Structure 1
Amino acid sequence: MNIPEFQSLFNELRNWLAGKGLAGSELIYSYFFIGLLGVILFLFITIFLTRQLFIGVVKSAKTKSDWQKALFEFRVFRAFALIFGAYIIYNVVPYLFIDFKNGLFYALIFAKIYMVLAVMFAVNAFLNALVSIMESSKKYADKPIRSYKQVAKIVFYIVGFVLILSIILGESPLYVFGGFGAVTAVFILVFRDPILGFVASVQMSAIDLVRVGDWITVEKYGADGEVTEINLTTIKVRNWDKTVTIVPSYAIVSESFKNWRAMEESEGRRIKRHINIKISSIKFCDEELIGRLQSIDFLKDYLKETQTFIERYNAENTVNPNNLVNGRHMTNIGTFRIYAEKYLESNPYINTDLTFMVRQLQATENGLPIEIYVFSKEKGLKRFEEVAADIFDHLLAAVPYFDLEIFQSPSGSDMRNFVRRGDD
């Protein structure tokens, strides 16, 4: 229905009322109220039919999909039907208020503002539906889609606000935008977090820093858990203790944090722990100790091959056997390190294709650290800790078999026992 048809309908209404003998103010107010009721009724009918038309088109699809559900859930059809209603109101107002010049001015302003609001409402509903559809897709499930939605809404709301302001002031939108130059500093101050958040979201997406579902650790904010939501200004992290931490988006790109995704995608999770050996317990292996160690399955072949090599080397170099410092000899700490390697190699939960080391670290006042640096095939927190605990349970229990002692700072009871022995 176009404008001439509106004009024709209202002319027929006026002629019909005049034919009933109405004139003057009676004609004017009767024309207005009857026309207003007719417009309201017409709007309800057209909005309902438009909405049903959209719904009918979507329902005609043979299969139900995520986009169909989203369009219904966020009432996108009703929103777009309101745009059609706003268009009707804008075109009807000049004929409805033809006898009220002052009222016509304000009614046109109202109609224009209503049209802008209807478009904003429709775009908002469409963006919500679009984001819902994208989040349900595996392709975009780990992307900060909500951040982009919020930025788009902010931009669109600003444009809508400017249009409404220009309608009220009776000025061009460009004139209103030009006036924003004077308040740019205030605008940046007010929207500092959204601006920083948007820049951070773009950077996170561009270089793939964080995704929904990642395990991250941000020590400054006490966050250690799974990312459940990425918004324009914040990142929501569900910690392993079931609490929730909110981290500013810009903190991810401006400060240090740890993302465990690479570990989860790799073939193993690193075990990097050490045992402090008491240095005074380190010694060369004598025949008695070697004899006891030969009963350990993991060391049988090693001890046999190494002992043969040492004897041949010492014989070829005419080493004086009266002092163990001369020539080559096995040590209990070295033998224990070899045992730890053999034991770890036999562990089915250790990935030997990745970095695999049992090494000495720099000796300290707390003894000589023997570090286990391997990767567990089990990457889940519970199973990983179980594998690591089993390894060190065994190694700690095995240390005394090598005539070694684990370093431990003396406790109060140790000091009391020492004093008592001194008194005795």
Structure 2
Amino acid sequence: MVVLLAIIATVPLANFIATSASRTLFLSRSNDADWFATMAEAPLQSGDIANLREMAVRYDDLYNTPVFIVDDNNKVVATSKSGVDTNEPDIAIALGSTLAGRLPAEPPALWPWQSGEMVVARPVANNGRILGAAVLRVPTDDNRLEVRRSLILLLIGLLISIGAIIAGIVRPISRWVINPVKDLDNATHQITRGALDTRVSTDGRAPELRRLGDSFNSMALSLHQARQREREFVADASHQLRTPLTSARIHIEGLSRLSPTARFALSDIDRLGRIVQRLSRLAGSDRPGADAEGNSEEPLDLAQAVKERLVGWKAVYAADDLELIIGDMVPGGVAPELEVDDILDVLLDNASKYGAPPVEVSVTRDGTEVVLSVRDHGLGLGSRDLKKVGERFWRSAHHREMPGTGLGLAIVRSEAARVGGRVVARPPIGGGLVIEVRVPLIDDYEL
């Protein structure tokens, strides 16, 4: 709309430029035609036109403008160039008006895409009697070129004006419209990262965007409430199940002394207990950084914490005749709330059950991350299964007959996410599987 209004305003200006150039040229040459009309009055009466022809030739040579004089019978009596045809449309119209004593017509505008001469005629009169007419055939090429230059400057000015309007009006309006969309995009990313308490502002927005923001906030609130109910359900279920499971275990322990079959029930009770414990753990670690808010403890040296936990695992692996290799242990500070023991227990337990020895544990640095790696030399996982590692209750098709809950790596992933970390599963060179827990390095940590 702004561009259309600018173009509409420019059209009259362009017409003014072309018309003004035409009028200026017409008035300038009209003065010369009046002079010739005055000079032709006596020769037309006396019939001596030699001097009149000579003046016309000199004028044509000087101004490159042909001149001719006609009598009252429309006959050419003197001309600067031969071959004048008074029947040409423009000349005939001009002579007809002039010899009839009428005012000259308005000259046409000098548009640059047109061509042609301008005909200027003035009557030769004596005491009110028309004796003839002086006619100038004025070239217009130079004037049209000047008009073209003026129109180009006008077009440039139009473009600059449109640019200024866009920068001064349209751009702020666009930002007013686009910024809420950017806020929605950022809020969506926050939601996908687990920050379900994220909301967008709807103040000062366009009505449509305000409704969109309200709908987004309602959706985020519903998700937050659903997740909160899920946590509460899992926490309540875990709490309610823990007591009867403990009681059942006590009773079955007593029966196990009398019946070997009871030992299998005891094993199932223990398995249920582990499932309840892990569900409770997941319910409290869904939101990244939830436990880290307001924490002011000193950073935790991940390598030192891993080495301390490996002391017990060496004995477990040795008892099962499995080889446990301790690789590089590079010191690196991480968030103190990271549950290193739980993470390492899951990774080493999975490696012993689903992988094959030797199992290698290392702690290294990679840029701004501290990496805890556990590698086994088993069959590993296919590319499709690698993408599902860490999903709740997911287990590879090769391992479904083996004991497990499918929650271990989900807990590891949640623990890493709580401190802004991530879990990466990949096939190493030489076969097997590597699980990497990558957590942010705390820069101000001192070795």
Give me the TM-score of the superposition, normalised by structure 2: 0.23
Larger radius of gyration: 2
Give me the TM-score of the superposition, normalised by structure 1: 0.24
Decide which structure has greater helix share. 1
